A = this chain, B = another copy of it.
Amino acid sequence: MPIVNHFIEIETKQGINIHNITLQIQELIESTSIKNGQALVFSRHTTTALAINEYEERLLQDVKVYLHKLAPESDRYLHNDLHLRENIPPDEPMNAHSHLMAMTLSTSEVIPIVDGKLALGTYQSVLFFELDGPRKRTIFCQISGES
């Protein structure tokens, strides 16, 4: 049963921004011989996350408002007392709220592959959330299954 590993690389923008990576995963599947199996998608950062939902511009704005309401950037967080932490780089950001948002969303998603395609529902897209941009980010994809 073949296993194909791949990194998707994304340059993100300031603050929270949401990227639709469905097509990149589908193209990766099509570059393999795998017709039946799974796509494991894994967010490799502590201030990024995944969700599988609708890529609709106004909903994406609603999600940003929602995440900021759950974990306001302006709240007091111990993680943001940079002078009290050890071994941090000089450009360490004050991003506790981004970590909390990431834990509320997902780090790993597994999506079934049927007939060589992601078996997503009609309105589902695979969404990658930058929660503390701008940065260069990587998403890990592992395609496995049978030809």
Chain A positions within 8 Å of B, measured between CB atoms, are 1, 3, 5, 36-38, 40, 42, 44-46, 51-54, 56, 58-59, 61-63, 66, 70-71, 77-79, 81, 84-85, 96, 99-100, 102-112, 114, 119-121, 123-124, 138, 140, 142, 144-146
Contacts and interface: CB of A to CB of B under 8 A. Distances in A.
Given A56-B85, A58-B85, A62-B78, 9 more contacts: A42-B111, A45-B123, A53-B103, A62-B79, A63-B100, A106-B107, A108-B110, A112-B140, A121-B138
Nearest to A125: B46
A144 B113 CA distance: 13
Contact of A59 (B66, B70, B78, B108): B78
